Amino acid sequence: MVGIIMGSLSDRKVMQLAADALTELGISYEMEIVSAHRTPERMLEYGASARSRGLRVIIAGAGGAAHLPGMVASLTSLPVIGVPVLSSNSIDGWDSVLSILQMPAGVPVATVALDGARNAGILAAQIIGASDEAVAKRLDAFKESLKEKVAVMNEELKNQLGN
């Protein structure tokens, strides 16, 4: 249902967070390396065939120049979520953030925070949940669990403060 792509194997640690979020929410995904610069033909094929292969959202992570999310978005009408990845050749991640964020009119890419793949997975689930009631219910339960985690943290804080 969701395609997770990245430019390099070094992006896997970050992009795994999107996969983990999708797994927690019961959403299937595929994960592949699709480099905009090293395998442009593969990128073209991936983007052009995404809908016919049953994908509903694409999460694309890239560092440095970070062309992958925008280029894939230019090839499909599916929603694309870009994850800027702090890479070894990055300028504190700003190059990646701005490359994904500053898309021209007509080629939108939803962009999450630097290394924010977990939120990309949750956002992909929310996009799917807008038309899939079962996913929406799992998301509602997830949101409730966030409230419960804050309540537990509040109790821990009170205990630490001796209140």
Residues 6+ apart with CB under 8 A from 33: 5, 6, 7, 8, 9
Is residue 99 marked as binding?
Answer: no
Residue 38 among known ligand-binding residues:
yes
User: Is 11 annotated for ligand binding?
Assistant: yes
pLDDT at 92: 86
Between vectors from CA 132 to CA 126 and to CA 134, what angle results, nearest 5°? 95
Provide the 8-state DSSP code for 77.
S
- The pLDDT of residue 65 is 85
- Measured over the CA atoms of residue 89, residue 108, residue 1 and residue 143, the dihedral's sign is positive
Residue 59: per-residue pLDDT: 98
Closest CA to 135 of 27, 35, 57, 55: 27
User: pLDDT 10s per residue in the chain (163 long)?
Assistant: 999 999 999 999 999 999 999 999 999 999 999 999 999 999 999 999 999 999 999 999 998 889 999 999 999 999 999 999 998 878 888 999 999 999 999 999 999 999 999 999 999 999 999 999 999 999 999 999 999 999 999 999 999 998 7
Q: What is the pLDDT of residue 90?
A: 80
Read off the pTM. 0.93
| Domain 2-131 bears CATH identifier 3.30.465.10 | no
Q: Answer whether 58's CB lies under 8 Å from 106's CB.
A: no
